[in-house]
Structure formats: C-alpha cells, structure tokens
Structure 1
Amino acid sequence: MPPLLSIVVPVHGVEQFLPRCLDSILAGQRSEDFEVIAVDDRSPDGCGAILDDYAARDPRLRVLHLTENQGLGGARIAALPEARGSYLWCVDSDDWLPEGALDAVLTELRAERPGELDVLLTGFSHVYPDDSTEPNPWRHLLAGSPLERPEGATLREHPALLRTVLSVWNKIFYREYLDGLDVSFGRGFYEDISVTYPALLAARRLRYLDRDCYNYRRGRPGAITATASAKHADAFAQYEAIFAFLDRRPDLADLRGLVFDRTVRQALTIYDTPGLVPAELRRDFFHRIAAHFAAHRPPGYRYPGGVQGMQYRLAARDARLGYDELRRAGRLPRTLKASLRGSRG
C-alpha cells in the first residue's frame, strides 16, 4: 500500500547536520505510514554516502543521486515523481523534527478523509548557532484562530495567515490538491514561495496544528538568510510566478491586494537586512521593487498608514535615497515629505 505521507529532503553540503535530520525522522519510528525521498543534489561532501548508509538500513528511505546540482527547488521537483504518499512534507536537511512531531502529524492526517484537507500547517521553533531557541514568532496569529477549529478555514476567513512565515517546511500538502494547482518550485533563492502562496490562496480547507513540529536552523554560515548574494533578486521571479497564478485564477482576485502587500514587504525586508544584498547591487534591487509596484499594484490599492506607508510610496517612486534616509534618520527632506503627503492612493 502507498504510504500516507511522503517526506522530501533535498541534500547539499550539510554533512555535519544530515544525520540529526534523518534520525529525527527515522530513529525509533516504527510506522510504515511514511516514506522519505532524499535527494543528493550533487553534494560536494560525504552526504551521498551518509544517505546510502541510512537507506541500506531502513527501506522507508530512498535516495536519488542527481548528476547536476539543481538547487533546493530543482531537487524537490526531481523527488516528486518518486513520492507515493497522499500527503507531501518538504523538510530541509539542515533542520530536524522534534521528538514526537512525526507521530503528531501522522495522527492528524489519519483523522482526515482523503481530499478534505488541502494544507496542514504546524508550529515550529527557530534554533540559532549557540543552541538558543525562539518560539514561532507568528504563533499569536494562528493559535486560537479559525485555522485551529476542526473544520478549519480558508485564507479569506483568516487573512492574517499571509503575515506568517511562507516557507514550505511547516506545511504538509495533500498531494492531489498540490498537483492540481499547476505550480512549481522555482530556481535559486526563495524557491518555495511560488508554491506556498498559491497553495494557501486556493485552499478550500486549511488547518493549523499548534505544536512545534519543526526545528528551523537560523543563522548558520551559508544559509540564505545569512548570505550576501546577487541571488536574493531571485525573489522577483517567484513573485512573477505567484501573480501569474493569480492571473489564471480570477476567483481569487479579491486576495490580490493582500498578496501584493506581502510581497512588497518581503522585498523591502530583504533590501533592509544588513549583509544580504551586496552594496554594488542595492540600487538595482531597489529599482526592481519599484518595477514590481508598477507591474502588480492592484487597482484601488491603498498604502498602509504611518511610516510604512511613506516607505511604500518611496519604493513605488524608485526614490532609493529618500528611502535610505528615512530608514537611517527616521525623517525625510521637507520637500519630499510634502510631495508624499500630497500623493493619492
């Protein structure tokens, strides 16, 4: 019989973290209700051998060895044809599951009738290099919300969901639903949001499990969130994919403003975070934020109030120096401030 859950684990350059990830899924777990598809994304270290050793000892783990590096998105795409489960969970190979997390997720999935739950979201913790932890900073937007009810909710019923983390790793998808969306993981950085946004927007039923089921490692050297790279501009290709999905789904037109606001906020956060966008590329990155505004600002869109609204207006105008001054000193030149106050929308 096909397993209930397929766990996809892309692997590249994480030799020191991989055993903990695999042990957190497989060790002491007797259930046959899940399988693990691990993808050796042409890892330059000993990850391939580690995967083969684990697979030789546990038939629930199958390994794909890619001949060319595909990145996180490409590795997940390569795994999908091999995944037989009714549900799909993407776990990053430098992260790990807390004790009892997999049992808790399987229990939730077993209680569901096939096809009635599109996405199960879980709680999680951030773990830092010094082993300190931070509980899910968005829990207050989820715990006690309609998403916790047995009947679940849609994103329309709880739009605050779009203010939470939109990465793929704390979301378990009903495979048939995901396949029907006609979306795909992207290439480069932020590869998962071209899947998570559409999946949350179109879901007929979402549920939240208020339990930490994932330990997300933050701040490690080489991680996207800690790496200066031109690839941070890959986010714009993912935004294009998200809005292309919305173009195909006129039934979701009323959610377009929420999506636009969230993508602008993320792009500005990337720009604002020290050490992410290289200095020589910051001008071009900000220009692309302005181009995103011009291309995807919905009719009737209203800017947020206060300082954030001023920041958005500056981004829309491609006024990078004014934006940087507002961020640095908390104020704008008087003439620019008056101009912004006089603008409409």
Structure 2
Amino acid sequence: MQHKSHITLSFVVPAFNMEVYLGRCVDPLLMAKDSSDIEIIVIDDGSSDGTAAIADGYARRIPSVIRVLHQSNKGHGGAVNAGVALARGQYVKVVDADDWVSPGSLERVMAVLRSECGRSEPVDLLVTDYVYDKVGRRHKHIVCFDRVMKSDTRLGWDDLGRFGLSQYLIMHSIFFRTEVLRRARLRLPEHTFYVDFIYAYEPLPYVKTLMYVDTPFYHYFIGREGQSVQTNAMIARTDQLVRVNHAMTLDTPEPDSVPDGLYHYMIHFLSITSVVTSVFLILSRRPVNYMIKDGLWRDIDMMSPRIGHDVRRTLASRAINLPGRGGRFIIRYGYRVADRLVGFN
C-alpha cells in the first residue's frame, strides 16, 4: 500500500471481545487538538460480542480518522500484523483495546513526531514511560527511563545508560517508524500469546536513532478477568512463553554485528524474558517444566556460546538458575514479593 506522508501516526488497536473496554481505549486517541494527521485502525479479530458494532459506529461517525478491519480470529499477533500492514502513518503505535493513553501525553508526543516527520532523517524509535494501572491499586507503578536516556534528544544506542531490572522497552513504551517495521519484515506468530515481546525486540537492529519523551503516555490495564498476563494464565501457557523466548533467542545478533549499546540492551531484554519464562515454569510446580526450563538455557548456549555467556552473567539470570528445591523456593517467594510491589500480574 502506498505510504501517505501526511499521516504522522497510525494507532493500531487489536480488539477481540472488547466491547466493555473499546470506548475507553479509542476516546482518548480522539482527544488530540488536531487529528488531521492521525489515523486509528481497529482490528476486530473475530469478536463474538459487540466489539464489531462499536468499532463500526466509530468509523461511521469519524471516517476521516477511524478505519476498521474485520477478520477471522488470528490472535494478538495476527491482529497486529494486519494493522501494521494497513498503517499509512510515518509512525506506528499499538494500543491494546483494554488499555488507554493519556490525552496530555498525546499532545506532547504528537508535537515531537510532527517535528521528526519534517526532518530528512526522522528518528526510528520513540520511547515514552508507561503505567501499570492495576485494578484496586491506589499507587500506580510507572516505568520511567529518565535515568537511561536524556529526554527530547536524538540518541544512538551507545548514548544510552544502563537499564534497570524492571526497565525494558516493551510494546507499551515504543513508537516505531513504520519503515523500520517494514525493513525488518516483522511478522508475528498467529494464535500465540506474549508476542508483544517479539514486536519490541526483533526490529531493534534496524533502529539507528531513538528519542525519549519523559511522559507517562500509556496506561497498561492489569487485573481484568481472563487477562493473558494473570499468573494462572501464564502458568497454563508456559509452552507459548517458551516459544516466544526461542524466537527472541534466534533474533539476537552477535555482538560484533551491531552497536555495543544495542547488543547490551538486547542481552538485557533476552535475560529478562528468559527469567520471566523460567519463573512461570517454576511456579507450575511440575517436574517436567523444571526440565524444560533447564533446556531453555541450554538452547541459548547452543545457539551462540557468546550470547549464552552474556545472558547468563546478568544478576537476574544467575538468580533464576539457583539449583535445587531451595532455589525454586527462593524464586517463588521473590515472585510474590515483586508482584505485591509492582502489580504486574
């Protein structure tokens, strides 16, 4: 599809049975003072409730901004793939239909993106802060990157500081330049949960420049019934976590092929996802999953001894591989403490 340069930002909204939440997601996206260079693409991923009718209602009322694609169910990855393929903006932002954005942050981000679109070489990646907005929690944990990146400044990977344990550029924090995703030929697995990790990882070697805007743009809604990141759901889907982790391992570049800063960040992110996968394998309390967990780490070593060495030497990786029953007890206890503090599940 031919690129329309006058559209600055395409919001892709994957929606499966989201009739309760879709309005809360879409309405803030329409609060920009100027929406003439914004498009919202709602992907109705085979919903069986009122999602399709709600989305079509928005498209009828505001056809200049909102488009809707109805497709048979392909899962989150298939919905994102469809939205990115339709995107006409110079930048793409995925907003899940049960999440929402801050209207005040939207104005600030749009000002930056419009400025970048006017440059001969616009930044490839824009980063913002995001909020864990958990049901029933008064204090909302905000993931900030102000100690890693200088705000409102064009940066290369080697300009970044050190990421903390809870700091990584997940889908909620990033805006890709659309051309980057197309150069990367990003194609997420269909009918697979947790592919947002792949979305935020695989295209990174194609990113040369980035910029951070220190505003809590994205509200990540946690705690609704049936959510894929609920603890029990993640334990039940450890096979999919392993599948995603394997895909990320294959996407990890050797250190001499990319800037040092990018390699160190990707090792950090791969370490975090490997640890997360290992945690849920341990939480399952199934001996077969303990073996799968050990195999996951062996696979990283076998793919690349250097990458395996660098991933294993992070503090989180060393902790997750504490041996025996005592090590697993420490992991379970640490998970409970972390979840109480942050509220990420």
TM-score (ref. length: structure 1): 0.80
Structure 1's 298 and 212: CA in aligned 2 closer, same or farther, altered over 3 A?
same
Residue number in structure 2 paired with 1:64: 69
Amino acid at match of 2:182: D
**1:47 paired residue among 34, 51, 55:** 51
Structure 1's 271 and 42: CA in aligned 2 closer, same or farther, altered over 3 A?
same
2:242 is the counterpart of 1:236: yes
Give 3-state SS (helix, strand or coil) of 2:217's partner. strand
Give 3-state SS (helix, strand or coil) of 1:160's partner. coil
After TM superposition, give the deviation of residue 131 of structure 1 in Å: 5.8
Residue number in structure 2 paired with 1:343: none
After TM superposition, give the deviation of residue 162 of structure 1 in Å: 7.8
Amino acid at match of 2:127: L
Report which of the two structures shows the higher radius of gyration computed on alpha carbons: 1
Query: 8 Å contact 1:186–1:192 — kept in the other structure?
Result: no
Residue number in structure 2 paired with 1:266: 273
Tell me how far apart the structure 2 counterparts of residues 305 and 29 of structure 1 sit (CA, whole Å): 45
Q: In structure 1, list runs of 5 or more residues that go unmatched.
A: 331-345
2:160 is the counterpart of 1:158: yes
Residues matched between the structures, number: 320
Amino acid at match of 1:182: R
Tell me how far apart the structure 2 counterparts of residues 207 and 102 of structure 1 sit (CA, whole Å): 15
Tell me how far apart the structure 2 counterparts of residues 307 and 32 of structure 1 sit (CA, whole Å): 45
After TM superposition, give the deviation of residue 30 of structure 1 in Å: 4.0
Query: 8 Å contact 1:270–1:276 — kept in the other structure?
Result: no
Structure 1's 253 and 285: CA in aligned 2 closer, same or farther, altered over 3 A?
farther
What is the CA RMSD across the aligned residues, in angstroms?
A: 3.2
**2:224 paired residue among 195, 220, 224:** 220
Tell me how far apart the structure 2 counterparts of residues 240 and 307 of structure 1 sit (CA, whole Å): 18
Query: 8 Å contact 2:12–2:92 — kept in the other structure?
Result: yes
Most deviating of 33-42 and 250-259: 250-259
2:78 is the counterpart of 1:78: no
Give 3-state SS (helix, strand or coil) of 1:31's partner. coil
After TM superposition, give the deviation of residue 191 of structure 1 in Å: 0.5
Tell me how far apart the structure 2 counterparts of residues 209 and 96 of structure 1 sit (CA, whole Å): 18
Structure 1's 269 and 280: CA in aligned 2 closer, same or farther, altered over 3 A?
same
Query: 8 Å contact 1:121–1:171 — kept in the other structure?
Result: yes
Q: In structure 2, list runs of 5 or more residues that go unmatched.
A: 335-345
Q: Superposed, which structure 2 residues align to 1:232-311 within 5 Å?
A: 232-247=238-253, 251-252=257-258, 256=263, 259-272=266-279, 277=284, 279=286, 282-296=289-303, 298-299=305-306, 301=309, 303-304=312-313, 309=318, 311=320
**2:41 paired residue among 37, 41, 62:** 37
TM-score (ref. length: structure 2): 0.80
Residue number in structure 1 paired with 2:188: 185
2:131 is the counterpart of 1:125: yes
After TM superposition, give the deviation of residue 157 of structure 1 in Å: 2.9
Most deviating of 16-25 and 287-296: 287-296
Report Cα offsets for 1:95-150 as digits up to 9, x if no partner: 1111222222110111111533000011121211126342423x2xx215444252
2:86 is the counterpart of 1:95: no
